[in-house]
Amino acid sequence: MKSVLNALRRVSLTTLVVLVAVWAGYKLWDYYMNEPWTRDGHVRADVVPVAPDVSGFVTDVLVKDNQPVRRGDVLFRIDRARYEIALKQAEAVLLGKGAQLDEANADLKRYSALTPDVVVSKQRLDQVIAAQGEAQAAYDQAVADLNLARLNLERSEVRASISGVVTNVDLRPGTYLTTGKGVMALLDSDTLRVEGYFEETKLPRIHLGDPVSVRLLGADHTLRGTVESIAAGIEDRDRSSGSTLLANVNPTFNWVRLAQRVPVRIALDPAMRSELVAGATATVEVLGLPAHGGPSGTGEARDGSHPSVCRAVQAAFRARPQCG
């Protein structure tokens, strides 16, 4: 009888261990395959290439690499001598065109005021009217040239178009710059965010406004954020446009199909942006909301699994250390 009880205990213990292993394996598989988390996340920000609008030699560089700047701050200056001379030339031309316009207006007024008994040929009157029109057009052109010269002189001081941080500054006085060629990058600090590239199979579990846990690679703390938006579309690699603008579909098909990655934009608390570096790698996990999962206040995830279960499974199998 004692041997039978011992056998029953061994069978029960073995069965219990197997059931726990199966349950833990299922939970681990569900967590890795279905739960909305990804290691393919990156810190991103909007970057404005800083390029001069006029050409010339750099005379002053007023910023250092990785220096915060405000909108309107002068970043560097281009030699102003040439543009000051061009402005004076435009002012002189404007004065000359103004004198010609005054003379043409006086002639037109004089001929228009002649009495009918004074013989004036129709051809001569037309010539006076045409001369006044040409003088007016020349004056308007001189005004435009003056405004352009003044704008070029103003643009010789390159200013920050947004508030942010200038980076990759490798500019020195004496460097000759050409119009439109970028010389440094201006990173918009207000647009720092995290974008996670989630598999398309996990998108049904991601909703706008969901809380998100973000862990940067090498960091020992977790950042918090919310789902701001989900990309409306991604590139179709199996289709392109032919020379006739008809659909050019790849005739080959891979039987092993991998889930496409869809960008999900994560908005972070502004207080957390100061420690972010654009381009850094991050692990992103969308946490379960009570409204999407269990009853309010239970803390259950969308699939009904409790965070403590997740932690227990991860501790047993040495899985990824973040949980909802």
Please check whether residue 247 lies inside any domain of the structure. no
Q: What is the pLDDT of residue 317?
A: 40
Q: What is the pLDDT of residues 271-291, one digit of tens each?
A: 777 778 899 999 999 986 544
Task: State residue 288's pLDDT score.
Answer: 67
Does residue 86 share a domain with residue 26? no
- pLDDT > 50? residue 313: no
Q: How many CA atoms lie within 13 A of 168 on its CB side?
A: 11
Residues 137 and 42 both lie in one domain:
no
Same domain? For 103 and 117 the reply is yes
Let me know whether 17 and 94 are in one domain. Answer: no
Beta pairing, strands 56-61 & 37-44: unpaired
Crossing angle between the packed helical segments 122-155 and 81-112, to the nearest 10 degrees: 160
Residue 249 domain flag: no
- Mean pLDDT, rounded, of the chain: 83
Residue 242: what pLDDT? 81
Residue 35 tokens read as: 């739960």
Domain match, 194 and 294 both: yes
Q: What is the pTM of this model?
A: 0.69
Residue 120's CATH number:
2.40.50.100
Q: In this structure, are 63 and 174 located in the same domain?
A: yes
Across 296-322, average pLDDT: 42
CATH of the domain at 230: 2.40.30.170
How confident is the model over 19-37, as pLDDT tens digits?
A: 888 888 877 776 666 688 8
Q: Do strands 56-61 and 184-187 pair parallel, antiparallel, or not at all (unpaired)?
A: unpaired
The rounded distance, in Å, linking the Cα atoms of 195 and 259 is: 18
> Domain residues for 160?
48-187
> Reduced to 3 states, what is the DSSP secondary structure of residue 169?
coil
Query: 229 with 302, same domain?
Result: yes
